Amino acid sequence: MKLHKVLTIVCMGCSLTACNYLDFDESVGKTKDEVYSTFANIKSLVTAIYSFLPQDFGVIGGALRESATDNAMYVWNTSGVYKIYEDKWAPTNTIDDVWGNMYSGIRAANSYLENYNEDFLDRLSLDDNYKDEIKKFRMYPYEVRALRAFYYFELAKRYGDVPLVKRTLDLEEVNQLKRTPFVEVIDFIANECTQIAPRLPINHNNFYEETGRVTRGMAMALKSRALLYAASKLHNPTEDIRKWQDAAIAAHDIIREGWYSLPNIDNDPLYNRDGANEVLKSSQLIFERRNGDDNSFEKNNLPIGFEGGKSGNVPTQNLVDAFEMATGEPFDWNNAEHVKYPYVKGNKQTRDPRFYKTIVYNGASLMGTTVETFEGGRNGLPLEGATPTGYYLRKYINETVSLNPENPQSKAHHFILFRYAEILLNYAEAMYKYVGEDEIPVGFTLSARQALNQVRKAANMCDVTDTGEAFYKRLKNERRVELAFEDHRFWDIRRWKSGEVVTQIEGVQVTSSGEYTKIPVQKRIWDDKMYLYPISKNELNKNPGLGQNTGWNN
């Protein structure tokens, strides 16, 4: 049976129970014996479980989750992200609702783990590829457990308490489920990662074919992120120091292994203008969702005025102001030199090098074309769809694709899920909260400051020398600029409980003579209920026992 047919069968199993995604029929058109009759069929089942991996190339009607933060906005008001801006989000009108999709992935994982049995190996021993495939087959259960843990994290970070289901259920059982406390879900995730990590490989053998499969580093990185979120203010209001200690240990466990490193920004394949498969060569890459060739991200984000480009997610002045000057000093609108030369002075760049890898500004070159965001420019207002902030997005744009309808060109767009810079920043934050910026307790090998400055050194930025709360402020800003548009800011704002930062969105007004004035662009509404997602009214109708998150009952 061919790969696409097995995937179709698995997907049918999910779709048969659209009435409740926690349940889908075991009767998917093939018996267990048939499904486990060849390595190809088994691999296809595992591939289907991988297919639930998250990404954020525009999941909210073209908008990135980043555009629901102070880092960006979405130009077109037809996107569902405007329901977040205007507080029109509701249990009857959900946004980014992954409840059904993640539980489909969990159900598929549970089913695989229940049916996995090495007795099947006897019948497969006559397969021509037996010796090559047997190692993969024995690794699959650990990969599937890691994926299941990841899907639980995707649920918990959105909804808080969620049902923790470790086996396949029938419909009656599903509709009687109760939500498991957030802390227990995180404990499950952390324990699973601890148990399976030693059984997973550090790397897979065939680089291009196997990159994208779960590794030991992925399981450990998931544990690091989950424990960091659990230690943060949203879920740790009493500032229990032990939770920060646990998060620090989890991140340090990865750091001390030495498997990953931060390339200099000028040499990191992650920033290659022809990213595609080159990003897979980065020494800091831990885990990614592999995607095929496509050019829709460029279509939805290239500036108005570029062939085929229709704009979309555009950076804000709020984010631009977060990028320090190249000297390490904060950008200051009251500093005449900063305002006169906000991006370049002559041929010299004046900002943090990461700015130029992330953002397209007035006068910048993109795909060999000079971008004009000034009023009346080829990419500026009053053109319909032009950026109101004065900026366009560069990160994730592949400059070698073509949107020419006569000769379109596409490239792979892999979504980074974990990379080493995040681990260092996780560690820096957890260590600061645990013991401060400079202390190195027994069992650890570097301080919060040293971890933070490793990230800055790779970006050609000077060390942070601040102390106390000033250090923590710089650390949070470092996460913001280093991980911009990688689906972190949206969640960081929530775990830090700093939702008020999204209410005033700013841009820059640019003249053709190169004068810059900061301007208000958009007012948004924030309500503290948004720290967690609402549970869909459809799910509550099927199982009222789930209960609703605070503030979402109306």
**What pLDDT sits at residue 554?**
58
Backbone conformation region of residue 137, classed left if phi is above 0, alpha if psi is from -120 to 50, else beta: alpha
Q: How many CB atoms lie within 10 A of CB 75?
A: 24
Residue 148 to residue 160: CA distance in whole angstroms: 17
pLDDT of 24 higher than 60: no
pLDDT of amino acid 190: 99
Confidence category of residue 26, pLDDT binned at 50, 70, 90? very low
Here the tokens at position 211 are: 């990159």
Per the prediction, the chain carries an average pLDDT of: 91
pLDDT, residue 136, reads: 83
pLDDT of 25: 32
| Residues 401-411 pLDDT 10s | 999 999 999 99
- Tens digits of residue pLDDT in 319-370: 999 999 999 999 999 999 999 999 999 999 999 999 999 999 999 999 999 9
Write the DSSP string, 199-210.
GS-SS-SSHHHH
List of residues 6+ apart from 8 with CB closer than 8 A: none
Long-range contacts of 524-530 (CB under 8 A, 24+ apart): 524/84, 524/85, 524/86, 525/85, 525/86, 525/87, 526/87, 526/499, 526/500, 526/502, 527/87, 527/551, 528/497, 528/499, 530/84, 530/89, 530/494, 530/499
pLDDT band, residue 186 (cuts 50/70/90): very high
> Within the chain, how many helices (H) and strands (E) appear?
21, 14
Residue 369: burial class (beta carbons within 10 Å; 0-12, 13-18, 19+) = middle
Q: What angle do CA 388, 393, 398 make, to 5 degrees?
A: 145
Main-chain dihedrals φ then ψ at residue 85, nearest 5 degrees: -55, -40
Indicate the range of 120-124, 296-300, 345-349, 374-378 predicted with least confidence: 120-124
3-state secondary structure of 324: coil
Q: How confident is the model at residue 2 (pLDDT cuts 50, 70, 90)?
A: very low
The two three-digit tokens of residue 152, written as one number: 């639980």
- The architecture (CATH level 2) of 1-54+98-200 comes to Alpha Horseshoe (1.25)
pTM (two decimals): 0.93
Q: In the predicted model, is pLDDT for residue 485 greater than 90?
A: yes
Which of 291, 253, 265 has the alpha carbon at shortest distance from 430? Answer: 253
User: 208 pLDDT band (50/70/90 cuts)?
Assistant: low
Distances (CA, A) of 506 to 51, 329, 335, 382, 514: 37, 21, 18, 18, 18
Give the start-to-end residue ranges of the domains of the chain: 1-54+98-200
Residue with tokens 């800003």: 477
Q: Specify the higher pLDDT residue, 50 or 3.
A: 50
